[in-house]
Structure formats: C-alpha cells, structure tokens
Structure 1
Amino acid sequence: MNAFRQLVRPTQQSVKFVSQRQFHAAVPVMTGKTIEATSETFAELVNKADHPVIVDFYADWCGPCKMLGPLLEKSVKANPKVTLVKLDVDNATELAGQYKIAALPTVAAFNKGEVVDQFVGMRRGPDVEDFVKKHADRA
C-alpha cells in the first residue's frame, strides 16, 4: 500500500482529505477523494481501480476547466464510492491522444478500466452531480 500512496499526488484542494484514513473495509481508501494523476500513475489510479473513477481531463489555461473542477470535487466528495482523478493533458499528451481528447474539459467515467460514459464542456452543478451520482451507484 505504501507504493500506491507514493503514486498519488493530491491536488491542493484535496490535501486535507487524503490525509484522513477510512477504516470501513467496504470502502476503498481512495474513494471520495481528488487525486492529481501523471502519465506514470494514471494506469494504477484509473485502470486498476476496484471502484468507479471519474477522470477530469483538463489544462491550466482552460477557463471552463477551472469552473468545472470545483463542481466535480464537491460532487465526488458527496459520493464517496467514486474517486476523481485529474489529468493535465499538457503534461500527458500521449494519454490525451489515447483517449481521443479533442476538447476541454472532457470528463470520463471509468469502470473496471473502461470508459463507460463521458461529457465534453462545461455543465451546470446539478448535471455534474447527476453524472457523478449515476456512476457512484454502479459501485
């Protein structure tokens, strides 16, 4: 488990949440959290996850990404059966190409390593909450 924790680079907003431990055996340790992924950690965090994962493909220069990010983080925190993984496409161009990310923000729901749903562009808060809840219910 220590090797897994070294792969995780939490975002500044989620630092306080990553340090908290969850002791309930039925809930994976990383659920309900926001984690910043890199090209090196993406497969471990997303493709090998044993629970639904929402991936926010974003860029620092993208205005809509900056508005959508907090909505996703709030929704995932309220639905602790999923994890939010944020991937800066400027630092992971190969992964962006692999998942055919053509516009930002792109949000994809992964289950057992497969993309099962996605949307592109800014969404209203209730729409984001519905998206996250729908995939949390798959856990």
Structure 2
Amino acid sequence: MRDLLKVVLSLVLAMASGQALADLPIVLVDEARLPYDYSPSNYDISPSNYDNSISNYDNSPSNYDNSESNYDNSSSNYDNSRNGNRRLIYSANGSRTFAGYYVIANNGTTNFFSTSGKRMFYTPKGGRGVY
C-alpha cells in the first residue's frame, strides 16, 4: 500500500506545476499498470539513483528543511491543517478525507506528512518520484 501511495503521489505531483499551493488529490492506481516513465524500473526515478536517495542530504530527514521539528513542516502550522492550503485529500464515494499535507522545502524537496506531522514520503528537487 505504501508503494502504491508513493506512485499516486508522484503522478499527482507530476501533474501539479509551479509553486502554487493548493490541495493535492490522492488517487489509488495499480503500480503494475504504470508506463515505464513512472515505473520504479526507470533509473531516473529509482531510489537507487543518488539524486533520489535518502542518503542525499537534500532528501534526508536530518536536514532541517525536511525535519518534522521545523515549524514550516509542523502539523501545528495553520497552512498544514485540515483548513490550510497544503492538504492531501483522498476522495472516495463522493466524500473527501484530509489525509495529510505537503510542504515544499527551501531546498526544493517536497515533503509529505501525515495528519499528525510524521514525514511519510518525499520528492527530490526536480524529481518525479515519491520515496
């Protein structure tokens, strides 16, 4: 399920352009049916590519820009709340559920957090994948 959510977030992120802040929808898709460009088999978006790796300091949770302790990334920041402007929204059967929030860090990494403020995933600067 985690891999599926990562794929979905990467597709949504690929469709979203610029630095505009708004709700991002979460849509479930079958990872096996993705074209190669969005597949983990593609080295450009593979986690084994250093640019995408958690070992890369720009992507690391120990980098303050990505840290849960950074107020910009905190669940107590109004922009990250269920009424804020950086929400992750899951829609099913006509209902919309607040599933978390995203923050674009100063270093260009997009971080995805749970409703409680736990960093779940990230997209590297200029990346298409979610890790």
* TM-score bucket of the superposed structures, by smaller chain: under 0.3
Answer 1 or 2: which has greater helix percent: 1
More contact order relative to length (CA 8 Å, sep ≥ 6)? 1
Give the TM-score normalised by the residue count of structure 1. 0.25
Give the TM-score normalised by the residue count of structure 2. 0.26
